Structure 1
């Protein structure tokens, strides 16, 4: 067995290689208005608690409804509006987060972003709140100033084809956005692809208006998607993102796809129709990616809005989704048979089902040049799950069929913390290989820098002139 002290020392040396490298954030959900407008942040509660579904979900599990945490209701009904009351409620229940990544991220955010060393508790709630609020009032804590301080080189936000990209236009005008910019967009078409999505037909019509295409026909629908993809590319996008319930891909004829689309417009599509149409559109998007160069990201496996009561009161993205088992080998076969060997296609595949790490994902990524494995995300973006990921996939996929780290966050201030945690996990894994004489230290150091910086930059086409 390797000497634990030696392994720890090696991990520290490897971590030092990546510690100060710029941050590449190729997938996330930060609101672009934050950086476009560059207004001071609000109070600590609305910055760190209200939008964080990791936090509100845990408190809901202990009987504290989102209303008491200031999470807006769909019906516009009353919710707690006093930020100090919300903050005190979190502090009084801080023990619920022991051992969780939410606590790790928040405590490191307090210390490294806001320089607040006082541990959070019921007794220190006001002291910590006041210290963070004082920081937020300083010019150096406005969004763009923090962006610079965090060392972010590129930040990708995520928008629907129905978004007019006005915020990204402002960022481009200010020298922050557009191709090669520091803030870019990502094409996320789920709300115009999923026939079961609330408001799908209206979303499709809105997309058609923006694209100047008649979406009353399937051909017009495809033309609108291509047009909006081009608009996103002009706004700096280098990738698309697809958050389907499953990884199923289906090869339909244009006539078969048109029939499903027309059923959707008439409001007659069944659940089976919706699943088939989603699967077919993955192949359509692969064809579009081969033409326009966008990297495809597939995020399957979430049973969205599983908590129906929570969705009814507060809507999407407030902690009501649950992971489910996901098949990849058979589900992706039509896509991989058609395009898996095409060097023009690049697909980054994520999972919420870690039982698939070594059984399906690593062998697939190890066998197709178009396929790369995305970092553990959402319920798996924890130190232990990231370690298990490296241990499970490296045997078959190596390091260079993985796409580096993505923070996948809405919480802007947590970005440097999440990247730091990932770098520490990778350093520990590489150190164990060095200590076992399975990898020379100089190669481990090179791999460390690649995982933290060079791989995501290359795979997501964020190097200058890489998009084609």
Structure 2
């Protein structure tokens, strides 16, 4: 018995399936390029054993615990830590048993595909996980995690990761990245500059964050020009550790293009804590354009991840903090929202801005036409809630006819769950090969073109888009 069908996600019709098998065979073992994600650089720096199966696979993965919570299972019972240190379950075996009892909830979801792939290909488990074999699973996985072959660096090499980017706040001193660099290990782990905490006036502790930004950069963040210089300083610092990209996770894609005087006046109100809601939104919009201008100067690729209502449940946010499964997609405008920024840098082929969306209705109507004409724009892959076989297919179907393949940025896994990285990339490789296989079977692509495209979609485009 196996958990993963060899023809998983391949087309049902024989002609397309045969081509897909051939395409997949040629790319399935390519190195993994992971240009955007949320794994902890501390793992690679310290290279310690992962604690237990629950702490590795369940506790850090909001794809898992949000589904369980939706069925009435408390986050405390899944070991998710609280901000105030109030008690949560710490017995990994109990958490694992609870997970196994409810594994059926993931039927038909991408999480199930990723988990089955991980359980079989990483840990050698070939029987479906059930409450009856939960303890046997736990013991087998726990024993393997205590071996050197399952330390983070060994897994990094086993997964054939060529490069992985973490996502790091603007105030991060990058001490774990320094430890990795100084260790002599050859694995390439690079940071990405995420300045949300110092460009979003609604971010908790924003004014204190500005003070900290000034302190660590040596720039006067009490004034507009000094504030911009502080960002330039931090971006250069991140680049010194190999960063090639910035990342921006604001609620809206709105941009602005104020004059220097208008921007300085607005910053003064924000800095004084006197900006109203409209002015705070305008400041975020202006800062996206300022970040784009800085990218034109320093070459960092700009990623924009808009359209999520973060921390939709205030009760969960107050008790558990950010990234606990309560970020919900919203309708997102791009054509009007991005115009001020595109007026500033959109026709500059030296600028690289990668757009993501949680609003699939914008693919064909807005994003593909924009990326299909502006040299500065590329489309990021199906993201977050749409990082699924159906979501990936919809992305290709709705963007290829207008933007083509080469105005997209390949695949990134966007995960905190380290063991799921090869699983996520395998799903993406299968879906892209299936899409290309269908085009070959329909006479829309030549076989040699499909092989070239498969290589680029899976490996080449991400390296080029992220300057890796």
The bucket for the TM-score relative to the shorter chain is over 0.9
Quote the Cα distance in structure 1 between the aligned partners of 2:185 and 2:249.
27
2:314 is aligned, of 291, 308, 312, to 308
SS of equivalent to 2:258? coil
Q: Is contact 1:118–1:128 with CA below 8 Å preserved after alignment?
A: no
How far is the alpha carbon of 1:115 from its aligned partner? Answer: 1.2
Is 1:292 paired with 2:298? yes
1:267 aligns with 2:273: yes
2:223 is matched with which residue?
Answer: 217
Given the alignment of the two structures, is residue 156 of structure 1 paired with residue 162 of structure 2, yes or no?
A: no
2:425 is aligned with 1:416 = no
Counterparts of 1:281 and 1:394, CA distance in 2: 31
Report the equivalent of 2:62.
53
Contact 2:257 2:344 in 1 (8 A): no
Query: Which of 113, 135, 142 in structure 2 is aligned with 1:104?
Result: 113
Which residue of the other structure, out of 348, 358, 367, is the alignment partner of 1:361?
367
The Cα of 1:394 is off from its aligned counterpart by 0.4
**1:14 paired to 2:20:** no
Q: Deviations over 1:388-440 (max 9, x none)?
A: 10011000011000000000001111111100000000000000000001000
Q: Give the corresponding residue for 2:384.
A: 378
Q: Does 1:71 align with 2:80?
A: yes
Write out per-residue CA displacement over residues 29-56 of structure 1, whole angstroms, 9 at most, x where no aligned residue. 1110000110111100011101100111
Equivalent residues in 2 for 1:58-137 (5 A)?
A: 58-137=67-146
The correspondence for 2:404, drawn from 398, 405, 420, is 398
TM alignment of 1:275-354, pairs within 5 A: 275-354=281-360
The DSSP-based 3-state class of the residue aligned with 1:153 is: strand
Deviation (angstroms), 1:174: 2.1
Q: Aligned partners of 1:414 and 1:287: how far apart in 2?
A: 35
Cα displacement (A) at 1:176: 4.5
Decide whether the 8 Å contact of 1:87 with 1:125 is kept in 2: yes
User: Structure 2 CA distance, aligned partners of 1:17 and 1:299?
Assistant: 32
Aligned mates of 1:192, 1:175 — CA distance in 2: 33
1:322-371 CA-to-partner distances (Å, cap 9, x unmatched) read 00010111111111122111111000000001111111111111011110
User: What is the TM-score normalised by the length of structure 1?
Assistant: 0.96
Q: How does 1:163-312 map to 2 (within 5 A)?
A: 163-176=172-185, 182-312=188-318
Q: State the SS of the aligned residue for 1:372.
A: strand
Contact 1:196–1:271 at 8 Å: present in 2 too? no
In 2, the alpha carbon distance for the partners of 1:260 and 1:126 equals 59
User: Could you say what secondary structure the match of 1:282 adopts?
Assistant: helix
Q: Give per-residue Cα distances to partners, 1:127-166, cap 9 Å, x unaligned.
A: 1111111110111010000100100000000101100011
Q: Which runs of 5+ in 2 are unaligned?
A: 1-10
Indicate the SS of the match to 2:337: coil
Give the Cα–Cα distance (whole angstroms) in 1 for the partners of residues 457 and 95 of structure 2: 38
* 1:269-300 deviation line (CA, Å, top 9, x unaligned): 22212211111011101110011000000001
Q: Tell me by how many angstroms 1:220 deviates.
A: 1.3
* Secondary structure of 1:124's aligned partner: helix
In 2, distance between residues paired with 1:242 and 1:28? Answer: 13
Q: In structure 2, do the counterparts of structure 1 residues 176 and 392 end up closer, same or farther at CA, with 3 Å as the change threshold?
A: farther
Other-structure match for 2:456: 450
Provide the C-alpha distance between the structure 1 equivalents of 2:203 and 2:276, rounded to a whole number of angstroms: 12
**Does the 8 A contact of 2:17 with 2:437 survive in 1?**
yes
* Per-residue deviation, 1:453: 0.5
Aligned to 1:465: none
TM superposition score normalised by structure 2? 0.96
- Structure 1's unaligned 5+ residue stretches are 463-468
**SS class of match (1:297):** strand
CA RMSD in angstroms, aligned pairs only: 1.2
Report the CA distance between 1:215 and its aligned residue.
1.2
Q: Tell me by how many angstroms 1:116 deviates.
A: 1.5
